[in-house]
Structure 1
């Protein structure tokens, strides 16, 4: 696989990252989605804006943002083998599981593996999610 090029993935809904990284990178049949947060789709000239102050609003937008990168990279949720969730508050775990289970209710079995950890994020952000997909 080393002779295959890496391709950066940036959906039109996303701004250019604030540092030197890609929203997603595809190499061969592997697609790694970088950590996404609950920012609304990009509007030129407007700074990134969270979907709202609640975990529910941000989690649903974060999942939509991960999905945008997957789609732009030629993948679907069915191709995802690993999801990592980063929460800022341990008290959000049960609510996250409720939102997560509802979001993926129609996904084919087996579900992707998942890890959830607790981290610090920039002010106002409650959740970040990344994903690893294997296509084909």
Structure 2
């Protein structure tokens, strides 16, 4: 049927779901955020004493979320190049798209080999993060 994947080097999911599930040669990653797997801290976040976000660094979060996606891929015996579709959720499209897009281009410099991508502006994510990725990869046997 399907294989459930847990990546020891990725941050724990914030709910009752796996990091990924493999069905045949398709790998479906759950939403992955930028939390640090060791500390659970969110890179680039500066918070007030009450925990509200004062400011954040979208580039730091984008790099961290890419590292977390890579960790889940590796735990699934997949590679970065196996990504075929990525849905990106940004909490502030107007402010963050340009900087995020630049980090994307660092990780996928050739549009001809990059995965398909959809980027959505949303009002919030379940933790105080500014970006989350939902990915699909094709795993070679």
- Tell me the matched-pair count: 127
**CA deviation string 1:28-57 (max 9, x = no partner):** 2110111111111235xxxx2112221011
Residue in structure 2 matching 1:12, options 8, 11, 17: 8
Mapped to 2, the partners of 1:115 and 1:64 lie a distance apart of 19
CA contact (8 A) 1:78 1:108 kept: no
Mapped to 1, the partners of 2:23 and 2:111 lie a distance apart of 25
CA contact (8 A) 2:5 2:19 kept: yes
**CA deviation string 1:41-92 (max 9, x = no partner):** 235xxxx211222101111000110111111111112111101100000221
CA contact (8 A) 1:87 1:117 kept: yes
1:126 Cα offset (Å):
0.5
Q: Which runs of 5+ in 1 are unaligned?
A: none
Q: Please, what is the CA RMSD of the aligned residues?
A: 1.7
- Report the TM-score, using the length of structure 1 for normalisation: 0.84
Whether 2:36 is the aligned partner of 1:40: answer: yes
2:48 equivalent in structure 1:
none
Query: More deviation in 87-96 or 114-123?
Result: 114-123
After superposing on structure 2, the runs of 4+ consecutive aligned residues of structure 1 that deviate more than 4 Å are none
Q: Which runs of 5+ in 2 are unaligned?
A: 46-56
- Report the TM-score, using the length of structure 2 for normalisation: 0.82
1:99 equivalent in structure 2:
103
Distance 1:125 1:15, change over 3 A: closer
Distance 1:99 1:28, change over 3 A: same
1:118 Cα offset (Å):
1.2
Distance 1:8 1:92, change over 3 A: same
